[in-house]
Structure 1
Amino acid sequence: MKIRIRGNSIRYRLTKSEVISFCKTGSFAEKTEFSSTLFSYEIQTKKGITNLETDYDNNKIIIFVPQSYIKDWATNTIVGFNNNFLTKEGKEIFILVEKDFVCMDETVEDQSDNYPNPNA
């Protein structure tokens, strides 16, 4: 799972196997181990919500997804989900969760588990 943060926006991109795992278990997590601390980011389903939500606590970003979103996400053609989430403090955070496609340009990263690019 890749994460991209820019200002008040967060984007997760999941490979095929990550989407399958997330849909089966209701959660998926990654971590980066720095010298002084561990940073992690996670996606998980949450009951009682109708749009994406997010929170940051204890060096972890969590994106919460309504359970209904992942019913057949691993097998359907829906690329992803997004929402402008309003925090308790009234700040807006744009959230985007999507399937990761094979890049069209030259890249050195392993893309063998990515979804075929529809523009290919």
Structure 2
Amino acid sequence: MKIRIKGNSIRFRLTQSEVKQLSETGSVKESTEFGPNVFQYQVKLMSSVQNLEASYSNDTILIMIPEADGNNWFHNDTIGFEHEMELPKGRNLHLLLEKDFTCLENRAEDQSDNYPNPKLQH
């Protein structure tokens, strides 16, 4: 799982096995260790949300996706989900959750579990 954060925008990208795990178990979680501290990021299916929502507490970013959307995500062609979450004082948090495609250019990172990039298919 990859995350990109810029200002009030968060994007999560999930590999094929992570999307499958999310669809089957309702949750996928990763962590990054900073010495004694651990930063965690998680995507979770929730029946109580209507759109993507996010929270941050205890060093964890949690993206919540409607259960109905996430249950079959592994088995369909939906690339991702996007939502502008309203914040206090008239501000928004842009949320994007999507399948991770292989890069158009060769990269050093392991992309073996990424989705085939539609731009590379003939």
- Give the Cα–Cα distance (whole angstroms) in 2 for the partners of residues 61 and 22 of structure 1: 16
Q: TM-score, normalised by structure 1?
A: 0.95
1:51 matched residue in structure 2:
51
Q: Would you say the 8 A contact 2:24–2:71 is kept in 1?
A: no
1:46 deviates by 1.3
Give the counterpart letter for 2:114 in structure 1. N
1:84 matched residue in structure 2:
84
1:61 matched residue in structure 2:
61
Specify the SS of the correspondent of 1:19.
helix
Structure 2 gap ranges (5+): none
Q: 5 Å matches for 1:1-120? A: 1-88=1-88, 90-120=90-120
Q: Which has the higher helix share?
A: 2
Deviation by residue 1:64-83 (Cα, 9 ceiling, x = unmatched): 00001113110111000000
- Alignment length, in residue pairs? 120
1:87 deviates by 2.5
1:91 deviates by 2.7
1:34 deviates by 0.3
Deviation by residue 1:70-111 (Cα, 9 ceiling, x = unmatched): 131101110000000012554310000000001001200000
With over 3 angstroms needed to count, the CA separation of the structure-2 counterparts of 1:89 and 1:27, relative to structure 1, is farther
- Give the Cα–Cα distance (whole angstroms) in 2 for the partners of residues 4 and 81 of structure 1: 15
- Give the Cα–Cα distance (whole angstroms) in 1 for the partners of residues 63 and 89 of structure 2: 18
With over 3 angstroms needed to count, the CA separation of the structure-2 counterparts of 1:59 and 1:19, relative to structure 1, is same
Give the counterpart letter for 1:7 in structure 2. G
Q: Which runs of 4+ in 1 moved over 3 A?
A: none
Structure 1 gap ranges (5+): none
Specify the SS of the correspondent of 1:84.
strand
- Give the Cα–Cα distance (whole angstroms) in 2 for the partners of residues 101 and 73 of structure 1: 15
Instruction: Give the RMSD, CA atoms, in angstroms.
Output: 1.1
- Give the Cα–Cα distance (whole angstroms) in 2 for the partners of residues 51 and 65 of structure 1: 6
